[in-house]
Structure 1
């Protein structure tokens, strides 16, 4: 759920897609179709009652996902303008007047429209926040929780990787410097 280019919208899309797949898989299992589980499809013909067990598991997994990621709290709701400010008005009516005015100005900025089509969503809003500070800051607060934690964890992992057992046994005195080349 993390990554260099991860943002709230992409991750919400992935979760919604997986939740939809769970429902579809449960429906297929009820009909006796197991082809979505390639390793299981050959085994399923030999075991009786396996479909009921799998269906029950898929339903409980779907319920658990709904508890952790409730559809009512979908971070995409009312924020369509953040995902595409040039095509989507979703949520504009909830913005204060000053932010709505900035969004209207941004929607008519040809230079930013070109940038939007050629860069990542997060990079676009970072650039846009220079000129349209309030609306850009609001968008970045929504988009950046995951990338910032990812970058912190990636930095920590890189630091701990330098402290490995093998790395601590490097012997600097084994390197000899000669005018023409370095040798071991």
Structure 2
């Protein structure tokens, strides 16, 4: 379920609201039943899609990744609005199919909606958009240490000459580099540790409400989601070792 779609709908035109409702009903239909979800993944696989499940939000984005995602999206919104004003529909393949039916009023409505979305995003994510990420965070071995803050220049040089850190960066990227070796360089780690925090969205909260809604049916109305641990099992990212758990219990031959 998209828990925010009602909030979004308050600021869009009736025609766009209708389109949003169609998308929400489709998503709820797919995610509401395991069979539908499996069929959807199979369809995505047959069509060679990049993803094989509905991705509502991410739960592993750092502040650095989130900043890049938001800034990219804002720039794309401005591009889309500019292209619409010139009746270029490369970004809107469905509109391109009905180009002869589009009037100037239609295009103006769509352009106004894109402008409103961009303005709302800029307000909601102003702090993230203005977040400063030093160059040495994502490119520690290409950065000229002399151009960094005087306090960290020597430590940055130590990092740049650390062969183990270089190997980690080449194999796994900057995120794993700092997670594995960051605390060996305290002055650098002090400045970067908060940038590795997961982006604080309401994703997990919304996921919890959705799971509770699906589990607390009329057939399981007496199920206590808190004391039984059922909700925790639904939300955990840990995969249980079933074979190990089964091996720790004595088999009941009579059963």
TM, length-normalised to structure 1: 0.70
Question: Cα–Cα, structure 1 residues 121 and 178, in superposed 2: closer, same or farther, change >3 Å?
Answer: same
Question: By how many angstroms is 1:135 displaced?
Answer: 1.1
Q: Secondary structure at the match of 1:177?
A: coil
Q: Secondary structure at the match of 1:45?
A: helix
Q: Is 1:135–2:188 an aligned residue pair?
A: yes
Question: Cα–Cα, structure 1 residues 90 and 60, in superposed 2: closer, same or farther, change >3 Å?
Answer: farther
Q: Is 1:79–2:134 an aligned residue pair?
A: yes
For 1:96 and 1:73, how far apart are their aligned partners in 2?
Answer: 26
Q: What does 1:47-62 align with in structure 2 at a 5 Å threshold?
A: 47-48=102-103, 49-62=105-118
CA RMSD of aligned residues (A): 3.6
Question: Cα–Cα, structure 1 residues 43 and 91, in superposed 2: closer, same or farther, change >3 Å?
Answer: farther
For 1:112 and 1:58, how far apart are their aligned partners in 2?
Answer: 44
Question: Cα–Cα, structure 1 residues 120 and 164, in superposed 2: closer, same or farther, change >3 Å?
Answer: farther
Q: Is 1:27–2:82 an aligned residue pair?
A: yes
For 2:130 and 2:186, how far apart are their aligned partners in 1?
Answer: 25
Alignment check: 8 A CA contact 1:8 1:143 kept: yes
Question: Cα–Cα, structure 1 residues 125 and 92, in superposed 2: closer, same or farther, change >3 Å?
Answer: farther
Alignment check: 8 A CA contact 1:82 1:139 kept: yes
Task: Tell me the matched-pair count.
Answer: 165
Q: Please, which runs of 5 or more residues in structure 2 have no aligned partner?
A: 1-56, 225-250
Q: Please, which runs of 5 or more residues in structure 1 have no aligned partner?
A: 170-175
TM, length-normalised to structure 2: 0.53
Q: Secondary structure at the match of 1:87?
A: coil
For 1:92 and 1:142, how far apart are their aligned partners in 2?
Answer: 21
